[in-house]
Structure 1
Amino acid sequence: MHPLRTRLGLLALAVLAPAVLAAGVSGAGPAAPAAATAAAPAARAGAGNPLAGRTMGVYRGPMEQSWAPYQRATGAKKELLAKIALRPKAKWFGAWVRDADIERKVEDYIANATGGDPNVLVQMAVFRMVPWEHDACKRLPSKAQKKSYRRWIRGFARGVGNAHAALILQPDGPFALCVPKGSKVPSRMIRYAAKRLAALPNTSVYIDAGAGDWPKDRPDEAARFLMPAGIEYVRGFALNSTHYSPTSVEIGFGTRLVEELARRGVPGRHFVINTSSNGKGFDFGTARGKHPDHAKVCRSRSDSHCVTLGIPPTTDVTSPRWGLSAADSARAAAHVDAYLWFGRPWLFMQADPFLTKRALRLVRTTPY
């Protein structure tokens, strides 16, 4: 996918009360994301789950691309867009935010998303590596780029401070496997970030490990770039950030990756799965459309092999509502901290801008 280009609107920041508890949301109407219910026990997603039992904050302001379209909408359209705009989800931060500005931007985001409540959980994704994606296969970071990366990460860490945060580190992680001459430079840079951010008192870091279909059903390949990236310092890894793989596939792949990491001397890792895009999950390589990053959206609830919203953000990973097998429920209970929304299928090429018609179809066709 392409790097995010932040879309700054003219809308003034509205700091409202946080929405949606970590226990899960039903999605049974436009008010559901803004309602608070009792939190699920941490044991549902593994003992000591740092994400469980906390309200998940919702950012309301111009740094969120769905917010202005939601505010402009009226009637039934506004009710539908609420299913995206009022869901807790991860804000992506990257090189489009200057080194000098990142600390303040993160502070502003957290203040808005938490409403000033220090117990609320915020979600963010760090997409700061330059070069990255296909460019990373052609060249390594320059000395100046490495220095800037470290400066930016330090500023980001200061911005997070004591906040309770779930942090996805460097989406599209498997690109670390294609760097020139097998260099470990990008992985070492991610390692720097992993160690620095994991040292924050209330931050849970999950390094992006790709998806069950990338590297294709190869936990050993995923472990090959997670090990030099500092997986030993963090809570675990993240799956499916830019893909559409079914949740059951990701549970199975993630469980095997947990076992592979343990064999390599890093036991006890946990993971989170992006479910924003996999309501009718399929293999990324079989996506319909002009480009897999902009795969066809479902036309109806009975359509298949298409993109629609998946399980709403929750730490109640074994709920019968998700239709998991008994085996997958057991695996999820042992290893999965949460189903989160850190993918963005409502954006063009999962990057920018917000596409209202696409977003409305995502909402209308979701089975959840």
Structure 2
Amino acid sequence: MSQHPIRRPRRAAAIAAVAVGCTVLAGAWLNAGSASAGAISGSLYRDPNSPVARWVAANPSDSRTPVIRDKVASQPAAHWLSTFNQSTVQSEVATYVGAAAVGQLPVLSVYEIPNRDCGGASAGGAPNLTQYQSWISSFSAGLGGRPVIVILETDAIALQTCLSASDVTARDQALATAVQTIKAADSGAKVYLDGGHSAWNSASDQANRLKAAGVGAADGFFTNVSNFNSTANEAAYGRSIISALNGLGVPNKHQIIDTSRNGGASGDWCADDNTDRRIGQYPTTNTGDANIDAYLWIKPPGEADGCAYAAGSFQPNLAYSLASSAPYPPSAPPTTTPPTTTPPTTTPPTTTPPTTTPPTTVPPTTTPPTTTPPTTPGGGACTATYQATNSWPGGFQAQVTVTAGGSAINGWTVRWTLASGQSIAQLWNGTLSVSGSAVTVRSLSYNGALAAHASIQFGFTGNGAASTPALTCTSP
């Protein structure tokens, strides 16, 4: 099986701001007469080999691991197919859907349309529409008649600004044919087309676009992928699209909403640069709304948009930021209680964080010398030791160890001065404040209490050239 795709769709919020295997298995989809959900039901399949699951397994001692494990890795998310792999796509799909147990519903996000993302951060896809249809045929053959949810071509309908009128017509025909091909190969497949999001095109415009792209043969449309609009706004938008489709003679269509990053906060659309975003509703087919078939995590939390990191790459800092203040899912209560004394030692992330503008070559992964820089006694009963753990052109990563003195402390503060050209990009296991070049990091609620001679660590990534600053550590 190929690795998770390295690119994922960038949303056009900035643009918007300006403007069955057998019949028995297939039958498991039906939710006839239920008032608690839309047209489908069943448990969603969780991939045990997803990027977030692999990171959790490789980093058991990282201070972020409990949150990421319990609130992100525990949840099902879409499996993206975004690499044009004509010779292997059938086997990849067959392997993935075959891993799901009977009654579990895999979610596959197809992202192969030519000229996807209008050539932006997630450019790529099939070379042309003829090869696209061949790829879709192979993809469909891999489904094996199993019940699946297919998210077909994010942005392909809502984002058409780079296409001529004839290109739009050709794309619409390609999408309509793709829906028919998937449905003909797998009667258990539920297929949804791109509905944009509530802050983009009008509902009537989007409904007309969906009709032109063949939504009549599909099960409905999806909205809010990689975006942050509230579930309430998306549901209202979906109802308006459904009403408009009814008026166009296209009845009985349903909506899916991506809730992976719409749990609150506003600001920059790109989650790579916005640490105030939060995960939203946990994935489920039990929506309580007859118009909405599922709340899904189509864009997996922690996978980048392509602003500060490579699109589609898993970044633990992003996952932790999205999940840290979210409630635990009912199916995965916390397996550990945040410690009140010494937490596990934090190890640096296994992914190499690039600079704000990702370099065109892979940053070096050679670990700097392990010689321990000098420690600087603080004004109170603690010391702080700084160690650079990685560096690359234009950026670096560092770790700071805070150690209590001869008596216990309850809270610590570490201060240093940034060198010329430096800035802090991400920090974990502490509370950061920066005033000019003066950096202050304070303990969190669970790691401020240290027994005599006990230590904790926090880490961060920075922009600029690495250096070894003089630290001060004080305790109230």
Common fold: TM-score over 0.5 = yes
Equivalent residues of 2:43, 2:103 under 8 A apart: yes
1:180 matched to 2:164? The reply is yes
* 1:67 positional shift: 2.3
Alignment of 1:124-273 (within 5 A): 124-135=108-119, 145-172=128-155, 173-176=157-160, 178-181=162-165, 183-199=168-184, 200-215=186-201, 218-273=202-257
Equivalent residues of 2:230, 2:262 under 8 A apart: yes
Q: Which residue of 1 aligns with 2:95?
A: 108
* 1:177 positional shift: 5.4
User: Which of 278, 294, 314 matches 1:338?
Assistant: 294
* 1:106 positional shift: 0.7
Q: Which residue of 1 aligns with 2:79?
A: 91
Q: Which residue of 1 aligns with 2:65?
A: 78
Query: Over aligned residues, Cα RMSD in angstroms?
Result: 2.7
Gap regions ≥5 residues in structure 1: 8-21, 23-38, 299-306, 319-332
Equivalent residues of 1:71, 1:78 under 8 A apart: no
TM-score calculated relative to the size of structure 1: 0.73
Equivalent residues of 1:110, 1:160 under 8 A apart: yes
Equivalent residues of 1:194, 1:229 under 8 A apart: no
Matches of 2:119 and 2:64, distance apart in 1: 39
Q: Which residue of 2 aligns with 1:45?
A: 37
Give the 3 Å change call, closer, same or farther, for CA 57–344 of structure 1 in structure 2.
closer
Equivalent residues of 1:56, 1:121 under 8 A apart: yes
* 1:166 positional shift: 1.0
State the SS of the aligned residue for 2:187.
Answer: coil
Higher relative contact order (CA 8 A, sep 6+): 1
Give the 3 Å change call, closer, same or farther, for CA 98–258 of structure 1 in structure 2.
same
Give the 3 Å change call, closer, same or farther, for CA 229–361 of structure 1 in structure 2.
same
Amino acid at match of 1:108: T
Alignment of 1:339-358 (within 5 A): 339-349=295-305, 351-358=311-318
Matches of 1:252 and 1:155, distance apart in 2: 36
Q: Which residue of 1 aligns with 2:283?
A: 313
State the SS of the aligned residue for 1:129.
Answer: coil
Give the 3 Å change call, closer, same or farther, for CA 84–189 of structure 1 in structure 2.
same
State the SS of the aligned residue for 2:44.
Answer: coil
Matches of 2:250 and 2:312, distance apart in 1: 37
Matches of 1:295 and 1:91, distance apart in 2: 24
Equivalent residues of 1:176, 1:187 under 8 A apart: no
- Structure with more strand by fraction: 2
Matches of 2:162 and 2:66, distance apart in 1: 43
- Decide which structure has the larger Cα Rg and report it: 2
Give the 3 Å change call, closer, same or farther, for CA 165–132 of structure 1 in structure 2.
same
**Deviation string, structure 1 residues 131-157 (Cα, Å, up to 9, x no partner):** 111239xx9x99x61121011100110
Give the 3 Å change call, closer, same or farther, for CA 259–178 of structure 1 in structure 2.
farther
Gap regions ≥5 residues in structure 2: 9-27, 329-476
Amino acid at match of 1:192: T
Equivalent residues of 1:80, 1:360 under 8 A apart: yes
Give the 3 Å change call, closer, same or farther, for CA 261–60 of structure 1 in structure 2.
same
Matches of 1:281 and 1:235, distance apart in 2: 31
1:5 matched to 2:1? The reply is no
TM-score calculated relative to the size of structure 2: 0.57
Amino acid at match of 2:66: E
